Amino acid sequence: LSIRFLEEKKEEVAAAASCQARVEAVCPRSGPFRAGELALAVVRRKHNTTLKLLCRLAAEAVLSSPGGVLPHRDIIGQLPGQVLLASSGARLLLRRPSLDEYVLLMPRGPTIAYPKDISAILMMMDIHPGDTVLESGSGSGAMSLFLSRAVGPKGRVLSYEIRDDHHSLAKKNYRRWRSAWEIGHVDKWPDNVEFILKDISTAAADMKSVTLDAVVLDMLNPQCALPVVHPSLKQGGVCAVYLANITQVIELLDRIRSCKLPFLCERIIEVTHRSWSVLPAKLKHYKSSQMVETQENIEESPQNEYEEIHIQDQAVLKESKYNESLSDAGETNYSVPYIARPSHCQEAHSGKTNV
């Protein structure tokens, strides 16, 4: 009986391992955290805000947060999506970071192109897997990472940068993401970005040997790069220019007109996202407090943070009868009023032109 029990256990372990392998093949991010990969800790704070902390897991390291510390060894081996307790009792949601979260939290020197703007640029350029794209202005490497994913393993990204410190930082952030990705995923992140420390205005000789499907310029004077890159840009190709204000847009368009460059301005757009806060209202009635409860994972808001709702006795009775009818029907959930308003912290605006 004892031997048979062990054999059955072995069969169960083997079946579980086989099932896990099948799951990982279908969903590469289903495995547990491993040392060397990136983990994102999300801490809930007051006023329905969250704090995100990015760390690279190491066996002897410790994650520090406003809610206490959490040893990395307690994270390694856990599946993403679990809530762990820090030393002072704070609840930390651990998961793998998305690419847009990584570029917002990674070390940066110059201001990055924000994910909301990069998404619009990628759609404007209509990049496909296998394309060759030129980027001028590596910056901190945010655009390079998104371009790398867009063109895929068979594509190519040429990233020019004039400043040595920006060039080094962009390469470091790109390699950090790739190495962490390979540890936590079954597939490999493509090694398809060539970082070049050179002024794009002096790279005319380099452009003779390459055909570009698209160009993206994120630099102070993009008008200096257009005469260099346009001979290599295929007929009908798109050059997207990322600019901070409308004055720069006017200067660029004037240069195109005065130099008679073969570009047609198609669109000038500004990308805005509006974040909202949607929360259960704070009820101010002694009889309703027993009926309506806020969610456990939402901290109680300070005085006057949300609208006060006063419920009359008659309304409470109607609500009670309504909840009893739901209970009789087999439903235990009940409706509560909600407050919806734009968040206090909104993403910054930015301008760009598509030439």
**What structural domains does the chain harbor?**
33-97 (3.10.330.20), 101-273 (3.40.50.150), 282-298+305-321+329-336 (no CATH)
Residue tagged 């005319």 (tokens):
204
Q: Which two tokens stand for residue 212?
A: 């570009």
Instruction: Please report, in tens digits, the pLDDT of each residue of the chain (355 residues total).
Output: 334 333 444 455 455 555 555 545 545 556 899 999 999 999 988 767 789 999 999 999 999 998 899 999 999 999 999 999 999 888 999 999 999 999 999 999 888 889 999 999 999 999 999 999 999 999 999 999 999 999 999 999 999 999 999 999 999 999 999 999 999 888 899 999 999 999 999 999 999 999 999 999 999 899 999 999 999 999 999 999 999 899 999 999 999 999 999 999 999 999 988 888 888 887 665 444 444 444 444 444 444 433 333 333 444 444 444 444 444 444 455 678 888 888 776 665 444 434 4
Q: How far from 295 is each of 106, 275, 338, CA to CA, in Å? A: 32, 21, 12
Report CA dihedral (30, 32, 35, 38) to the nearest 10 degrees.
50
Q: In whole angstroms, what is the distance from residue 253 CA to residue 125 CA?
A: 18
Which residues contact residue 334 at a Cβ distance below 8 angstroms, ignoring those fewer than 6 apart?
291, 292, 319, 322, 323, 326
What is the distance between the alpha carbons of residues 219 and 229, in angstroms, rounded to a whole number? 14
SS3 241: strand
Predicted TM-score of the model (pTM): 0.75
- Give the containing element (helix H, strand E) for 52: strand 50-56
Question: Which token pair is 275?
Answer: 């974040």
Burial 206-231 (b: 16+ CB within 10 A, else e): bbeeeebbbbbbbbeebbbbbebbbe
pLDDT in tens, 233-270: 999 999 999 998 999 999 999 999 999 999 999 999 99
Separation between Cα atoms, residue 70 and residue 85, nearest integer Å? 7
Q: What is the per-residue pLDDT for 28?
A: 52
Per-residue burial over 233-246, b if 16 or more Cβ lie within 10 Å, else e, is beeebbbbbbbeee
CA-to-CA distance for 326 and 324, rounded, in angstroms? 5
Number of neighbouring beta carbons within 10 Å of residue 260: 7
CA nearest neighbour of 215 among 158, 130, 140: 158
Q: Select from 166, 117, 165, 108 the least CA-distant residue to 137.
A: 166
* Span 51-108, pLDDT tens digits: 999 999 999 999 999 889 999 999 999 999 999 999 988 899 999 999 999 999 999 9
Q: CA dihedral in degrees (192, 196, 200, 203; nearest 10)?
A: -100
